[in-house]
Amino acid sequence: MNIILFDGNEYSDLLPLTFTRPVAELRMGILTFTERWKKILQTEKVSFLTRKYLSAKYPVCIEDNNWFINPAYFPNLELILSIKNLQKGESLFSEGELIASNLSYEDFISGNFGRKVEISPGSFHIQYPWDLFSYNRQAISYDFSLITQGRNSLQLSDTVKIIGDPTRIFVEEGVLAEHVILNTREGEIYLGKNAEIMEGSMIRGSLVMCEGAKIHMGSKVYGGTTIGPYSKIGGEVNNVVITGYSNKGHEGFLGNSVLGEWCNLGADTNSSNMKNNYAEVKCWNYTKQGFIKTGLQFAGLIMGDHSKAAISTQFNTGTVVGVSANIFVAGFPPHLIKSFSWGGKSESPLFQINKAFEVAERAMMRRGAELTETDKQILTYIYEELI
Q: What is the pLDDT of residues 140-151, one digit of tens each?
A: 999 999 999 999
The CA distance from 309 to 344, in Å, is: 9
CATH code (residue 37): 3.90.550.10
Q: Are 112 and 65 in contact (CB under 8 A)?
A: no
Q: Are residues 122 and 256 in the same domain?
A: no
Q: Are residues 114 and 211 in the same domain?
A: no
The DSSP bridge partners found for residue 374 are none
Q: Average per-residue pLDDT in the chain?
A: 96
Residue 253 to residues 15, 178, 238, 245, 318: CA-CA distances in angstroms? Answer: 24, 24, 8, 19, 14
Average pLDDT over residues 156-176: 98
Residues 6+ positions from 210 with CB-CB distance below 8 Å: 30, 192, 195, 226, 227, 228, 229, 230, 231, 244
Q: What is the DSSP letter of 239?
A: E
Q: What is the pLDDT of residue 222?
A: 98
Q: Are residues 81 and 147 in the same domain?
A: no
Look at residue 337 and tell me whether its pLDDT is greater than 90.
Answer: yes
The CA distance from 117 to 103, in Å, is: 13
pLDDT, tens digit, 9 for 90 and up, residues 230-253: 999 999 999 999 999 999 999 999
| Residue 175 phi, psi (nearest 5) | -70, 140
Look at residue 25 and tell me whether its pLDDT is greater than 90.
Answer: yes
Structure-derived torsion over alpha carbons of residues 100, 104, 105, 108, reported in degrees to the nearest 10 = -50
Confidence of residue 330 (pLDDT cuts 50, 70, 90): confident
The CA distance from 203 to 196, in Å, is: 13
Q: What is the pLDDT of residue 4?
A: 98
Identify the CA nearest to 47 among candidates 83, 2, 107, 4. 4
Q: Are residues 142 and 62 in the same domain?
A: no
Q: Are residues 115 and 181 in the same domain?
A: no
pLDDT, tens digit, 9 for 90 and up, residues 197-224: 999 999 999 999 999 999 999 999 999 9
Look at residue 121 and tell me whether its pLDDT is greater than 80.
Answer: no
Confidence of residue 343 (pLDDT cuts 50, 70, 90): very high
Which residue, of 127, 161, 192, is where some domain finishes?
A: 127
Which residue, of 104, 127, 150, is where some domain finishes?
A: 127
Q: Are residues 339 and 369 in the same domain?
A: yes
Average pLDDT over residues 94-118: 95
Residue 89 is part of which domain span?
2-127
Give me the number of domains the chain comprises: 2
Q: Are residues 62 and 184 in the same domain?
A: no
Q: Are residues 162 and 88 in the same domain?
A: no
How many other CB atoms are found less than 10 A from the CB of residue 307? 28
pLDDT, tens digit, 9 for 90 and up, residues 283-298: 999 999 999 999 999 9
The CA distance from 10 to 73, in Å, is: 10
Q: Are residues 38 and 155 in the same domain?
A: no
Look at residue 387 and tell me whether its pLDDT is greater than 90.
Answer: no
Q: What is the pLDDT of residue 148?
A: 97
Q: Are residues 339 and 247 in the same domain?
A: yes
Q: At what angle do helices 353-365 and 373-385 cross, to 10 degrees?
A: 140
Q: Are residues 36 and 172 in the same domain?
A: no
The CA distance from 19 to 71, in Å, is: 16
The DSSP bridge partners found for residue 225 are 207
The CA distance from 22 to 32, in Å, is: 11
Q: Are residues 146 and 201 in the same domain?
A: yes
Average pLDDT over residues 184-192: 98
Residue 4 to residues 24, 44, 47, 123, 174: CA-CA distances in angstroms? Answer: 10, 11, 5, 20, 34
Q: Are 248 and 227 in contact (CB under 8 A)?
A: no
Q: What is the pLDDT of residue 304?
A: 98
CATH code (residue 309): 2.160.10.10
pLDDT, tens digit, 9 for 90 and up, residues 51-83: 999 999 999 999 988 999 999 999 999 999 999
Which residue, of 99, 127, 155, is where some domain finishes?
A: 127
Q: What is the pLDDT of residue 338?
A: 97
* Burial label, 211 (beta-carbon count in 10 A; 0-12, 13-18, 19+): middle
Q: What is the DSSP letter of 365?
A: H
